[in-house]
Amino acid sequence: MKVINIDQKKWTKGIDTLGSSYKLIGPVAEKDFHTFEILQQGQLPDMSFTNTRLSPKEVVFPQSEDMFVYSLDQNDEDCNILKEAPKDYSPRVVLGIRPCDARAMRLVKLNFDTEQYKDPYWLRLYEATTFVGLACDQPCATCFCTSTGCGPYHEEGLDILLAKDGDGFKAKVLTDKGRQLAEASGWTDTADDGGAFENARRAAEAGITSKVATDRLRQMDTLELYGADFWEDVSFACINCGTCTYLCPTCWCFDIQDEVHGKKGKRMRNWDSCMFPIFTVHTTGHNPRGTKLHRVRQRFMHKLKYFVDKYDQGIMCVGCGRCVQQCPVNIDIRRVCDLMNSYGSENACAAQG
Amino acid sequence: MQNPYLPYPVRIDEIVVETEDKNLKTFKLVFLNKEDEEKFNYKAGQFAELSIAGKGEIPIGIASSPVEKGFLKFTVNRAGVVTTHLHSMKEGDIMGVRGPLGNWYPWEMLEGKNILIVGGGFAFTTLRSSIVYMLHPDNRPKFGNIDVVYGARTPGMLLYKDELIQWEKRDDINVHITVDTTDDPDWKYNVGFVPPITEQKAPQGDENTYAIVCGPPIMIKFTQPVLEKLGYDHEHIIMSLENRMKCGIGMCGRCGIGKELVCKDGPVFTLAAINRTPREY
Amino acid sequence: MEPDRLHFSWISSAESTKFVEVVTEITEKVKALGPNTHYVKKEAKVA
Amino acid sequence: MIAYTDKVRQIARRLLEDCSVEMVIGFRKGSQPMMNEPCFIKKAEDADQLVWDGNCGINLANYLTGRKEKIAVFAKGCDSRNIVTHIVENKVQRDRLVIIGVPCTGMIDKRLVASQTEGEIEAVSETGDKVVVKLKDGGSTEFDRRQVLQGNCALCVHRNPVIYDELVADLVEEQTDVDHWADIREIEAMDVEKRRRFFEDLLAPCIRCYACRNACPLCYCPTCFVDESRPQWLGKGQDQIDVHTFHFLRAFHCAGRCTDCGACQRACPVGINMRLLTKKLEKDCFELYQWEAGMALDQRPALDTYKPDDPEGFIK
């Protein structure tokens, strides 16, 4: 297979060159963990990271973003009329996004890019972004990407896939966007790798030892699963914080808020979470998901059943393991997925005799 | 790329206080730009997001009918932040409308059928839209018998009273108005809750008859067995759901009932479809 | 917040003179500080 | 403390067998190293799911409010003080609770262990005063237990439960040689500007997931002030002022009630030590009113009472 060799010198130089035509975003070491941040001139992404604490979904779906601006001054001609908020959609590149997080963007796209409606904010940022992925050669114990239709060298949603090679990288260009970026950065040194890339992929996939079964979710009856007896046990520990949803690369729920300061106002959107009681509460006070059990069940049913049924593209989870690692009370999606996937199977076997 | 979150600017043309408790007002809205009105092409049963700069948005069923041109009407209950502010607004004020949103009563399927409409309280808005649509001379021949059962707590709480009285007098629609209680000795319509009045007045269900039901949860709960008793199949009972919404276009995620989103896949569902989803509304 | 912006006093309903003195003193102190700049949100910043 | 597990199971089994309680709230082994999951047990035969070790840092008092059942709950020193606070604040009834006291020698700080370990951790075990970390690559590291305790546990002076119906073990010796307020004094010594920058830095990573609030047993308000819409007290975005307002006001709401159990800090997914805020108020309550939260059922909280000799130096 033809790959592009990028040694350390070319890497540094290429990134420096890219800075003039792209906004650069990459992993940066914080106090205890890495986050994706805008890189300053001369700053290199820290490619030694395992994965970031927060997913890079913020690159295309900021936690808080402006939608519209307006004037509330009666003397203004366009008082009370909403105008598009000024936004920056200039080209940008995410360096070092993990394949799971890139695939997550494709899953989220199903929500924001529909036949009937297109979410302009998400889509414009997505289109403005080139995704340079970094293959995972050392997965965590909580990684179960290979069970979710993804993998440590998965290419979906990426424009370039990098794999570590000594202190440099081997690169596989996957799209036109990727080609443009490779040219702009001067990463053009193509050579045959003698199958090394493929071998590394196989080795990395074999390194993912955590597995979940999802094969029966589709055929499962929604209401039976909804009424399953394990939800009380699963949800008991939950404290209904938003950690799992905010860290998740595939969670997309949001809230729309107006904020006024003096005579100027803006309509903005912020991440929201199905874990919060106020997410669904009606003005009357009635809450269709009024208990913790309702909300925990909603999160898992959405990811592992409703989404599966709605799009037929597998589960709404890429196996990044962030929620498993950071849940304050250790609610583990792998355990819940297994409970759901195997629900009623004993009876089914009994029925078959 | 068209921005589906951007409301069309509209002017409040007229405000009518509908009920004696003054908590329900009907707002007649006129588009500031003619081309927006043309884009806002709706069917009876759809809703829209009413947008007030600085306050937010609120999803409200469209009470005007597609056969009424030049304006939109929304009947709004004063309840939360946005609706309370809306109630304080005056004729001539500028606000926004985003839509039309959601699906509609399945008019294509309902052609040639008898229609029973059951409504309660202030959930009569899209039902009004539907009645006006069906009674339009161009449309009336497309439908069989039309029966309407509409109830409110008291006579003073009925919406669209003038129209109700007009419809009641017509012979191409059977309107059964009812109130829970009244001390008006001259009240000449029914007294009683919607479910028993439906049982007394509504036609039997058959394969050519559909019921459209919209009302408070308690009314729906007790009307459902009545309709079953009258022989209505769950596929023939059509309902409009409400849930907390923000985006109205199926993206923000909060109004889901199972895999269906009330804002985009609904708000109109058959009872049969609702029975297949978790009851999270 | 600057300490001079917050003030607690115990004034009996009979002590009108003290009330005037205290209010005048506080008003002058706050005027001297000028408008508050800490924790004033002029526009929501998005991240 | 690892030896407590047998006793924990034994007590739970007995209480369920003789129908003293309908459910027992404790911990079961988690799927991650250094993580246990709060759980309930309703059948005596399930009691063997329960465990006790240095990873039971979540405050179980948080799971008691709003429940109808008669409950047995395992309580460390801090948990027991929060249970007292719940009882004093009428959130739970004493006679509906069986409190099983757990004399505590401190909980392990999983982030501290992870940050001091090279390589991925496969398993962590405790033997006496040692914490043994087994690595994925086969190696292992050993820590002195006291060196890897949660910040609050290292400074804890109430390790023994203050209220209990029975104990899983003999009481432990309380720590006396700790400087409980050293970090707070440092912040108090900063000038206004420096302190402001310190808080900015402290709270910068916050994503407003509210894990701190929700892990806190004190935060049981049906609707938290940040969630109120009428009126809406603060914006819901990532504006620094909104984020700070949340943290500061929440800390004030905990004044005179916080037991420094550390659940907030432990729950935070981005590693914020918001205890620095609650502890300042804990310190003030202690110094001004000699008040420590949740020590006795017959004492009203500091901010709930007035005494003629309350300090009033702030009144000019």
Alpha-carbon gap: D312 to the closest alpha carbon of chain A (Å):
37
**Over residues B131-149, mean pLDDT:** 96
State the ipTM, two decimals. 0.93
Total length of chain A: 353
* B98 pLDDT above the threshold of 80: yes
Give D177-210 pLDDT, tens digit per residue.
Answer: 899 999 999 999 999 889 999 999 999 999 999 9
Q: Is A335 on the interface with D (CB under 8 A)?
A: yes
Q: What's the confidence (pLDDT) of residue A346?
A: 64
The more confidently predicted of residues C1 and A55 is: A55
Q: What's the confidence (pLDDT) of residue A31?
A: 82
Q: What's the confidence (pLDDT) of residue C38?
A: 80
Task: For chain A, give the mean pLDDT.
Answer: 93
Alpha-carbon gap: B188 to the closest alpha carbon of chain A (Å):
33
* A352 pLDDT above the threshold of 70: no
Domain count, chain C: 1
**Over residues A41-50, mean pLDDT:** 91
Give residue A350's pLDDT band: very low, low, confident or very high (50, 70, 90): very low
Q: What's the confidence (pLDDT) of residue A345?
A: 73
**Over residues B175-202, mean pLDDT:** 94
Q: Are residues B147 and B82 in contact, defined by beta-carbon separation less than 8 angstroms?
A: no
Chain A residues inside the 8 Å CB shell of B3: 84, 120
Residue in A64, A142, A241 nearest the CB of D210: A241
Cα-based distances in Å from D296 to B109, D75, D282: 70, 15, 16
User: Going from the N-terminus, what domains does chain B have, and what CATH number goes with each?
Assistant: 8-101 (2.40.30.10), 107-240 (3.40.50.80)
Tell me, yes or no, if the pTM score tops 0.80: yes
Residue whose C-alpha is closest to residue D267's, from A237, A320, A33, A35: A237
Q: Are residues A340 and A225 in contact, defined by beta-carbon separation less than 8 angstroms?
A: yes
What range defines the domain where residue C43 resides? Answer: 1-47
A237: β partners: none
* A338 pLDDT above the threshold of 60: yes
Cβ–Cβ gap A80/B7 under 8 Å: no
Q: Which of residues 309-348 of A touch C (CB under 8 A)?
A: none
Query: What 3-state class would DSSP assign to B193?
Result: coil
**Over residues A195-200, mean pLDDT:** 91
The span from the first CA to the last CA of chain C, in angstroms, equals 25
CA dist B61 and B75 (Å) reads 8
A269: β partners: A65, A256
**Over residues D137-156, mean pLDDT:** 94
Q: Is C36 on the interface with D (CB under 8 A)?
A: no
Q: What's the confidence (pLDDT) of residue D2?
A: 65
* Residue that the structure tokens 């993998």 belong to: A151
Give residue A2's pLDDT band: very low, low, confident or very high (50, 70, 90): confident
The span from the first CA to the last CA of chain D, in angstroms, equals 52
CA dist B252 and B270 (Å) reads 24
Q: Are residues A228 and A343 in contact, defined by beta-carbon separation less than 8 angstroms?
A: yes
* B277 pLDDT above the threshold of 50: yes
Q: What's the confidence (pLDDT) of residue C4?
A: 84
Could you count the other beta carbons within 10 Å of the beta carbon of residue A46? 13
For B153, counting Cβ atoms within 10 Å of its Cβ (0-12 exposed, 13-18 middle, 19+ buried), the class is middle
Task: For chain D, give the mean pLDDT.
Answer: 94
Residue in D235, D245, D315 nearest the CB of C8: D315
The more confidently predicted of residues A17 and A353 is: A17
Contact partners for chain A, using 3 or more CB pairs closer than 8 A, are B, C, D
Q: Is B36 on the interface with A (CB under 8 A)?
A: no
B212: β partners: B117, B238
**Over residues D132-155, mean pLDDT:** 93
Q: Are residues B167 and B141 in contact, defined by beta-carbon separation less than 8 angstroms?
A: no
